[in-house]
């Protein structure tokens, strides 16, 4: 992506150096050495190492403790991370670098930003984002109690939950959503179920319970109402953009792998790609890749100009993961019975694609966001 004409002009030597350093570091073999058990997730110290190596705080300005490499740096890093067979590390990095750090960056809370952002950017603190209520009918509640806020609720599927030091918790205060930052060591915070997942196994993911957790009122990261919505859209749009970039690189690599396999294969007495049905399906996936590249470049321009193209990026994320999942499933079909094996490269890729599909919102949520925007435009044009 870095060579795309919309992006290439922003690429400096530091971005290329970052990508090279990350390519050397983020190998399956190296990451496996940081895991608490084989096929498990990385240990807490991994995050400190990422900080030392300069892989955290990539997009955060240098005067806030980051590397000042902006969204271009984020893409450079994700390209390198995409060489890992498991998407978990990419998801953990999105949360640390693009969601929790950016919650602070766009918050109006200067004291919290000054205290925590440099530590997050240097990987000395790990953040998690607690949004998905375990029971949507019983959302997490935030109650004022003098100079304190009291938080009660339970969140599911939280990436980095086990190792996190800081939780960015979305809850309802007087019926309106807010985000509160709290130290995970605060009494009343507990890690619940640690999930045993199909894909994204390299990153921890757990539920978190908040049992009447008391934090100062000053820990509000956003004000209720429009400010919360704008900040939410800002961070989630970055997270979805990152997911689209992950999907792009994974689709590119799957195409290369499928070509290799197809070239060496004969079916019904003919080379694999001599069958029109296979050639056409492969060509369609190439078209998807080209369109995705254009969509990412377009989203990039909007984001670096300081806009938050929520609906545009939601559509892009939905499209990206949909096409990746479809192509991975097709490749499994092309493998025949071999695809039923856990060590099959395409079956493994499919499982990773499924993790990207649900992270940062389901396909339905992406469609809803994109549709609302189209509807808004139709109504505005008609008025």
Q: Interface residues with ligand FAD (CB under 6 A)?
A: 91, 95, 129-132, 155, 157-159, 200, 355, 358-359, 361-362, 364-365, 368
d(CA 211, CA 329): 42
End-to-end CA distance of the chain: 39
Are β-strands 127-130 and 166-173 bridged in parallel, bridged antiparallel, or unpaired? Answer: parallel
d(CA 73, CA 30): 22
Measured from the CB atom, is 222 or 335 closer to ligand FAD?
222
d(CA 180, CA 168): 6
Measured from the CB atom, is 167 or 332 closer to ligand FAD?
167
Measured from the CB atom, is 59 or 129 closer to ligand FAD?
129
Nearest distance from residue 272's CB to ligand FAD, in Å?
Answer: 33
Helix orientation angle between 310-335 and 363-382, rounded to the nearest 10 degrees: 140
Measured from the CB atom, is 341 or 362 closer to ligand FAD?
362
Nearest distance from residue 214's CB to ligand FAD, in Å?
Answer: 22
Phi-psi region of 217 (alpha: psi -120 to 50; beta: other; left: phi over 0): alpha
Nearest distance from residue 134's CB to ligand FAD, in Å?
Answer: 9
Measured from the CB atom, is 195 or 286 closer to ligand FAD?
195
Nearest distance from residue 88's CB to ligand FAD, in Å?
Answer: 8
Integer angstrom CA distances of residue 192 from 35, 156, 157, 181? 20, 9, 10, 19
Nearest distance from residue 18's CB to ligand FAD, in Å?
Answer: 24
Nearest distance from residue 129's CB to ligand FAD, in Å?
Answer: 5
Alpha-helical runs (H) found in the chain: 5-8, 13-25, 28-32, 44-53, 70-81, 88-93, 101-105, 110-121, 226-263, 276-304, 310-335, 345-358, 363-382
Measured from the CB atom, is 121 or 355 closer to ligand FAD?
355
Cα dihedral sign for 48, 163, 250, 244?
negative
Nearest distance from residue 135's CB to ligand FAD, in Å?
Answer: 9
287 touches 251 (CB < 8 A): no
Measured from the CB atom, is 280 or 371 closer to ligand FAD?
371
3-state SS, residue 229 = helix
């Amino acid at each position: 992506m870095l060579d795309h004409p919309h992006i290439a002009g922003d690429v400096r030597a530091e971005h290329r150096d970052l990508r090279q350093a990350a390519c050397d570091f983020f190998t399956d073999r190296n990451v496996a050495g940081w895991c608490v058990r084989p096929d498990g997730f990385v240990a807490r110290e991994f995050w400190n190492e990422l900080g030392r190596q300069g892989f955290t705080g990539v997009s955060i300005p240098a005067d806030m403790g980051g590397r000042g490499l902006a969204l271009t740096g984020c893409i450079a890093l994700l390209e390198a991370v995409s060489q890992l067979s498991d998407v978990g590390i990419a998801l953990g990095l999105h949360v640390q670098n693009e969601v929790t750090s950016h919650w602070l960056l766009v918050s109006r809370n200067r004291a919290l930003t000054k205290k925590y952002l440099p530590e997050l950017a240097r990987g000395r603190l790990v953040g998690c984002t607690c949004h998905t209520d375990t029971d949507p009918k019983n959302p997490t509640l935030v109650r004022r109690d003098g100079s304190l806020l009291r938080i009660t609720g339970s969140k599911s599927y939280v990436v980095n939950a086990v190792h996190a030091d800081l939780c960015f918790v979305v809850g309802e205060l007087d019926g309106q959503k807010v985000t509160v930052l709290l130290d995970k060591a605060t009494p009343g915070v507990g890690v619940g179920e640690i999930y045993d997942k199909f894909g994204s196994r390299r990153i921890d993911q757990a539920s978190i319970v908040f049992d009447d957790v008391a934090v100062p009122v000053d820990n509000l990261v956003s004000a209720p109402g429009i400010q919360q919505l704008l900040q939410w859209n800002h961070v989630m749009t970055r997270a979805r953009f990152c997911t689209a970039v992950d999907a792009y690189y994974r689709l590119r690599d799957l195409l290369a792998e499928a070509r290799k396999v197809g070239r060496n294969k004969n079916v019904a007495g003919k080379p694999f790609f001599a069958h029109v049905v296979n050639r056409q399906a492969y060509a369609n996936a190439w078209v998807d890749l080209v369109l995705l590249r254009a969509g990412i470049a377009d989203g990039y321009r909007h984001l670096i100009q300081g806009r938050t193209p929520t609906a545009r990026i939601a559509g892009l994320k939905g499209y990206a993961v949909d096409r990746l999942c479809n192509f991975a499933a097709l490749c499994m079909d092309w493998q025949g019975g071999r695809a039923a094996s856990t060590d099959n490269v395409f079956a493994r890729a499919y499982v990773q694609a499924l993790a990207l599909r649900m992270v940062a919102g389901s396909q339905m949520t992406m469609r809803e966001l994109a549709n609302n925007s189209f509807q808004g435009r139709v109504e505005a044009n008609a008025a």
